Structure 1
Amino acid sequence: MAGKNNLGVKVQEIRTIQKLTVDELADRSGLQAGQIQKIEKEGIIPSLSPLIKIARALGVRLGTFLDDVDNIGPVVARGGEHHAGVRFTSEENGSREHLNFFSLAADKAGRNMEPFIVEIEPSEQSDYKLSTHEGEEFIYVIEGQIEINYGKDLYQLAAGDSIYLDSFVMHNVHAANNQKARVLVVLYTPF
């Protein structure tokens, strides 16, 4: 992404173009107005779930917030040249785990899937906040180990393992064994 708070700027621009107040967007998305203001002003996003809810409330696809340039044809992402993406923290003050998303298709116009490389930094806390959103996710572990709270179940995956899950079930993905992990995530959210 171009700037540090490019995502927050895009949310605010689209909201303004649609002549919505922060309170109206909060009502439509089911989020609190303060959370939307924090996203717009500081680019602080606790997880993908609020961003997906904002996209739905504004009637745009998730990629709208992540795109820099729109290519109609195929988009090639070379190793080491991934678009710097979005950083999510699971708590507003940033004291828990951090997820660094690197888009693999930020330049692809009209895409229905969002492929990312995600670096998951470990957390010292174990009371992970579960979230839910529309769509489906495919997660492939590139390195390290992850744990996924999914409903009432816990799945442990190591490098080479993968999982395909429904995103509408409460879930959380985090690093296992207090070690950093890297995963490939393909997210599908219906528009």
Structure 2
Amino acid sequence: MLTEQLKDMGARLSMLRDSLGITPEKIAEALEVSVADYLLYEAGEKDFSFSFLYNVAGILGVDVLDIISGETPKLSLCCVVRAGGGYNINRRKAYNYKHLAFTFRNKKAEPFMVTVEPNGDTIPERHAHDGQEFNYMVSGCMDFFIGDMVYTLSEGDSVYFDSAVPHAMKTHGDTPAKFLAIVMK
């Protein structure tokens, strides 16, 4: 299932890039990845991080969900998401994203409910993307890594940061951490 989804996303990425007349070399350079790695994304052979999706969507001038689902949001007045709802984006093993404005068109921000699963002693890979981000801890406890700093965040804590600085999250103990993430373009 995931492999098929990756292939579909890669095909959409390739089609969007081609339709804009952008070469793989130019987009790889803009994304700061090798051309070989970029072509693996287009082939559906490399999993997408949220940072990669956010950055490539910005370059291509589309919504993140256009690449993930192939469906363009239709609403511009409001988007209501009921408790526990949202568009599931399971891009990374330890992170589960639920997009909370998935039907709203021309968003100025991308709101997500993010659950970070316990990942033992594994040091998380840091990612970066353009813009700024606000994270509000809903439950659990986690370490927030940004640049050379590490902050421990618990329920009710928040952090606002420059998301161009590489960052990652890691839970404390065996309990998942959940936070509201609002990514601003």
- Normalising by structure 2, we get a TM-score of 0.82
Q: For the structure 1 residues 72 and 56, does the alpha-carbon distance in structure 2 shift closer, same or farther, using more than 3 Å as the test?
A: closer
Q: For the structure 1 residues 156 and 104, does the alpha-carbon distance in structure 2 shift closer, same or farther, using more than 3 Å as the test?
A: same
The one of 85, 88, 93 equivalent to 1:81 is 85
**How far is 1:172 from its partner?**
1.3
Residue 17 of structure 1: aligned partner: 19
Residue 57 of structure 1: aligned partner: 59
**How far is 1:127 from its partner?**
2.8
**How far is 1:27 from its partner?**
2.2
Give the secondary-structure state (helix, strand or coil) at the position aligned to 1:160: coil
Give the secondary-structure state (helix, strand or coil) at the position aligned to 2:5: coil
Greater shift, 138-147 or 56-65, is seen at 56-65
- Normalising by structure 1, we get a TM-score of 0.80
Residue 161 of structure 1 pairs with residue 157 of structure 2: yes
Q: For the structure 1 residues 70 and 141, does the alpha-carbon distance in structure 2 shift closer, same or farther, using more than 3 Å as the test?
A: same
User: In structure 2, what residue type is equivalent to 1:142?
Assistant: V
2 CA distance for matches of 1:102 and 1:175?
Answer: 18
Task: Check the 8 A contact 1:140/1:184 in 2, yes or no.
Answer: yes
Q: For the structure 1 residues 42 and 183, does the alpha-carbon distance in structure 2 shift closer, same or farther, using more than 3 Å as the test?
A: farther
Residue 38 of structure 1 pairs with residue 40 of structure 2: yes
1 CA distance for matches of 2:35 and 2:51?
Answer: 15
Q: Summarize the alignment of residues 1-191 of structure 1 with structure 2, pairs less than 5 Å apart.
A: 4-5=5-6, 6-40=8-42, 41-42=44-45, 44-45=47-48, 47-62=49-64, 64-66=66-68, 68=71, 69-89=73-93, 98-189=94-185
Q: For this pair of structures, how many residues does the alignment match? A: 178
Give per-residue Cα distances to partners, 1:40-73, cap 9 Å, x unaligned: 314611x322223322332445454356332121
Task: Check the 8 A contact 2:87/2:99 in 1, yes or no.
Answer: yes
User: In structure 2, what residue type is equivalent to 1:81?
Assistant: G
Higher helix share: 2
Give the secondary-structure state (helix, strand or coil) at the position aligned to 2:25: helix
Give the secondary-structure state (helix, strand or coil) at the position aligned to 1:115: strand
2 CA distance for matches of 1:177 and 1:147?
Answer: 11
The CA RMSD measured in Å over matched residues stands at 2.3
1 CA distance for matches of 2:11 and 2:77?
Answer: 27
Q: For the structure 1 residues 55 and 149, does the alpha-carbon distance in structure 2 shift closer, same or farther, using more than 3 Å as the test?
A: same
**How far is 1:23 from its partner?**
3.0
**How far is 1:120 from its partner?**
1.0
Name stretches of at least 5 consecutive residues in structure 2 with no aligned partner. none
